[in-house]
Structures are given as C-alpha cells and as structure tokens.
Amino acid sequence: MSGFRTISFDAIIVGGGGAGMRAALQLAQSGFRTAVLSKVFPTRSHTVSAQGGITCAIGSADPEDDWRWHMYDTVKGSDYIGDQDAIEYMCMEGPQTVYELEHMGLPFSRTASGRIYQRPFGGQSKNYGKGGQAARTCAAADRTGHALLHALYQGNLKNDTVFLNEWYVVDLVKNQDGAVIGVTAINIEDGEACFVQAAATVLATGGAGRIYASTTNALINTGDGVGMCLRAGFPAQDMEMWQFHPTGIHGAGTLVTEGCRGEGGYLINKDGERFMERYAPNAKDLAGRDVVARSMVLEVLEGRGCGEHGDHVMLKLDHLGADVLNSKLPGILELSRTFAQVDPVKEPIPVVPTCHYMMGGIPTNIHGQALTRDSAGSDELVPGLFAAGEAACVSVHGANRLGGNSLLDLVVFGRAAGKHIEELLQQGMQHRNAASADIELAMARLRRLDESSEGEGVAALRSELQDIMQLHFGVFRTGEFMREGVEKLSALGQRIENAYLADKSKAFNTARIEALELENLFAVAAATATAAEGRTESRGAHARDDFRDRDDDNWLCHSLYFPAEKKIGKREVNFKPNIVDTFEPRERTY
C-alpha cells in the first residue's frame, strides 16, 4: 500500500463528542475492536459547551409528563419537516438514555425528592400544546454538556475504549462498489498519514458553525464529516437550515443558554419593553428559537436596538436574584463577566442572534446508516458508513431545533448507531477489501497541500468565506442577494483549491490541519448556499423576504444537495410514526 501504514478495527468512530463517545461506549461494551479518532482530546469536543440541558419526558418536574407531548413539540418545532419515525424513536428512547447517563455518574442537579432537576425551555408544552409551558429539560446547573461529555469519557475509560486522540481524519476511503471501507487520517503529533480500515465507519464530527463569522461554535467546528461525505460524492440534507441562537453575547459570540429564559429571564429592547409579548403572546420569550431570533432582528431593524449602534437587545436576569443565578446559572455569570464585562446579577446582558446549530447534515435512518440516492431516485444505504449527532440529519430537528434536543439527539442516536453496528458485526459484517488505488485517491488531497508552492494563505480565505456566509445567508435571506453570495462563493472556491501551505513540517502542524479544515468549511458553505437559494419558501430557520410564507404544496420535504451536480433535489419527509398517529402539518404559532 505504497508506504502508508494500515491500522485495522471492527468499527471506527470519527469524533469524540457526545454522539461519538456514546456510540463508542456501546461498541466497547460489546467487545468489538473499536477506536475513536478525535482531532482533539475528547473532552475538548464542542459538546462540552452545551449549557442548558437535555430534554426528555422523565416526569420529574411533572409526573404526568408524556414523551408523546415532547414528540408533538419537536414535530411542531421542526416546522413539520422533521421525520416523525425518528422523532418518535428519540422521544420514546430518551428517558432510558438519560437514566443510563445518570447511572454512569452524570451529576445532574436535583429536586427536593432526589430526582433529576428539569427546567422549562423554549417550545415546550403539555398536552399537545394545550396545557401551557412544560419543564422538560434535565440539567446539571448550566454545565450540562460539560457534565455529559465528561461522564461519557469516564464511561469509556471504564470500558477500555481505544482512543486515537489528536488524529485528524482527512477523507473517507471508498472501494469500487461505493462502499466505505475506512478513512485516511493523520496523527497530528508526528504527522504520519495512515489508512484506518474498518467494517463500519461512524461520522460523529459535529457541526460546522465556523462557516459563519459570528457563531457560538468552537473553533474546531469545521464540518469535517459533511465535507468528507460531499467529497466522496454523497448527498447532504437540509443544509439551508441553520439555527441562529437568540442569545449569543454581542461582540464575542459566546452562548448564553436558553435556560436563562427558562428560569424567568426575558429580552428587552432599548425602551426596556419585553418585546416578545408582541411576537409570541403565549410562549413569549420561550417561543421557538427561530421565532425569537427573527423578532430580535426585527426590533433592531425597526430602530429599537440597544447600544451605541442600536445593533443588539438585552437579556434581563437581575430580577431573578443572586441566589437563583448562583445556583442555577453559575456558568452564565462567569461568561458574562468575562466576555460582556457585565454582571448579570446587576445589569442585563447584550445579546444578538448568533449562528449556533446545523439542522442539516448527512442523511441517515434511525440506525445511523448513511443514505444516498440510487439511480431511480429512492433511498439507498451507503455500505459501511454511519453518522450520528450534529453531523447527521436523521432528521429529528427539521427546519428548527428545540433547545435541549441536541444533547438528546447525540446520545439517543449515538447509542442507536452503536447498537445497530453491534448487531451487524455479530451477523458477520466484514472488512471490505481496499485496492491501493482507493487509498491513493483519498490521499490525493494531502499530497496537493504538500506540493503547493504558491497561493493564498488559509486564514484570509477562511475569513472571506465566513464574511460571505454571514452577509448573504444570515437570519433573513432574499433570492437575488443569495445568488450574489453563491457567485462569490464559487469564485472563492477556486482560490481555496489553490490554497498555499507554507509550513510543511510534520510535528503538530496545525497549519496543515487548518488548511484541510478550510476545504470542509467550503464544502459545507457551498451546500448551504445552494440549498438556501433553492428552497423558495420560509420555513423554520430559513426565512426569505421574497418568499415569506411556508409552502407546504411544494416544500413539505427535505432538500438534498448533490455535490457532483451542485444541485438540490427533494426527499420525502417521514409522516409515519410507528405507535402514535401522524401529527399533520398545521400553522405554527407560539
């Protein structure tokens, strides 16, 4: 295999966040040879930044709570393009998955009776929207993601999972039949490139918020998994659907949890008015995130923004009192003092809608198996390839994700993928053979960088990309302006293909990693731009000035972006849950 070392496992998981480590845990417990390849030490993954909690109907805050109510909220929150079989599975399996995390040691906050503390979050209701606000989000103070990620890492240590930490996965390796047979990867510490072979490859690489200039996402969120799939010719689904979180700290982009509003905080404009009462009379500040983010932008556009430039609004928390803030939102106090130089105990926090979450991703079924299209236009499994978490699009979030559903998505579908792979391996799923040409093809990208002798630097190209996305594909979008963005992107794409890597050294060369990441960012951005321009309606997080209404006749469907043709197609949404009746699309108000 021309000089490349080959390492072999039954299953590999790319990414050490919540989804990857939950899948790894399942497989480690089953005894199959499993490895997690993560470009950072696992507890540095972006799951660690999740704050508010994990939503599911464990019936602690309200013994009458029902997973079907959670399902109803999620379907409605998705603006009806979430797949109902997947949402049903997630909401039904949720409680068991959360109990497992608790048994693993996750230090949830507690109620007086010793059960897991649950707080209200946006878009939650009782009795199918008829029973008022629910409190369904299980929390460990405002550090739930940190607590969850560390508990999962601890669980994996206990079960002797193999970790290849600080290994960067470059590309999928496909064989002649189109099956995925492993990945090419670099050991960052010494720069060695390897072929890592596996019967099952799980992409749990998280989101790609770094395609935007202003994002709550970690610097590592560069959409590596989606980029790899697109390069391998597989489609990506619903890439136009990006959630802008209402409360990112103005200027810094750092996230302030929705839990703030769950605990009783609210947004005010420059007149001190609680403006969400006008936009969502019932749910107010706890309407869906897309609704709140749009309302905030409208306040700013209509001249009621705060600050010197009138470009943000304020999140008021001081009325909750120091005791509640210290016990329920200690991390928020810390972040606000550091990044906004304000003390929420005394004054409000300046916030703006900030890119937060990629609802789209690699299309999968509920077992995490990646899907593509056959020539007849129906779904087809990609042999050997799986995806879970933010990188995947199952799709449980549709056009808008509800707060607290992302952590649930990670662990439910990480676990489901792990279980399914376990079954397949038990049934005798084998390594597929690789021809050296297959590996050479996947190594080509690495070679190009090492041979580059001139071109533009990565940092400048990256910030240009982020500025284009921020400007042309933000909270409000219009067709003509997006087409302009698509053209700019296509010009930028050619320059990115010729990006120059000056430093060709091997040991911990972060410049090489950033150059490889840039190509993934671009692949995701191009998919987003094309899909956003193509979907001629407003739905969930996708809001167009030139098509202001939801168009169920034409667009009650997923979009599929095909990288080879650079075009989008449509894929049916699943309206057939197994146990409950279908939730029919209705007008979505809060």
Token pair recorded at residue 136: 């369904």
In angstroms, the CA 94 to CA 489 distance is: 40
**Minimum distance between the CB of residue 338 and another protein, rounded to whole angstroms?**
5
C-beta of 102 vs 484, nearer to another protein: 102
Q: What minimum distance in Å lies between the beta carbon of 518 and another protein?
A: 12
How far are the Cα atoms of 224, 460, 560 from residue 168, in angstroms, in the given order? 9, 22, 27
Q: Which is nearer to another protein, 396 or 458 (CB)?
A: 458
Residue with smaller CB distance to another protein, 110 or 576:
110
The residue among 247 and 254 lying less far from another protein, judged by its C-beta, is: 254
Amino acid occupying residue 531: A
Q: Is 447 a catalytic residue?
A: no
Smallest Cα–Cα separation from 275: which of 308, 300, 252? 300
* Cα dihedral sign, 72-78-84-88: negative
The least CB distance from residue 337 to another protein, in Å, is 10
Q: How far apart are CA 354 and CA 368, in angstroms?
A: 29
**What phi, psi does 299 have (nearest 5°)?**
-60, -45
Question: Would you put residue 166 in left (φ > 0), alpha (ψ -120 to 50) or beta?
Answer: left
Which is closer to another protein, CB of 157 or CB of 579?
A: 157
**How many whole angstroms from its chain centre is CA 268?**
28
CB 173 within 8 A of CB 439: yes
Closest residue by Cα to residue 568 from 276, 256, 238, 287: 238
Nearer to another protein, 4 or 339 (CB): 339
The residue from 22, 289, 571, 588 that is catalytic is: 289
Q: Count other C-beta atoms under 10 Å from residue 423's C-beta.
A: 12
Q: Find tokens 């839990």 and name the residue.
A: 259
The helix-helix angle for 144-158 and 18-30 (nearest 10°) equals 20
By CB under 8 A, name the binding residues for another protein.
40-41, 43-46, 48-49, 58, 98-99, 102-105, 107-116, 140, 143, 146-147, 150, 154-155, 157-158, 189, 218-220, 251-252, 254-255, 331, 334-335, 338-339, 457-460, 502-503, 505-511, 514
- Cβ of residue 365: shortest distance to another protein, in angstroms? 29
Quote the least distance from Cβ 88 to another protein, whole Å: 21
Minimal distance in Å, beta carbon 49 to another protein?
5
Contact 262, 287 (CB under 8 A): no
In 54-179 the beta strands, taken as DSSP E runs, fall at 54-55, 118-125, 133-138, 162-165, 167-174
Which residue, 153 or 555, has its beta carbon nearer to another protein? 153
Please give the Cα distance from 248 to 260 (Å, whole number): 12
Nearest distance, CB of residue 372 and another protein, angstroms: 31
List the catalytic residues: 289
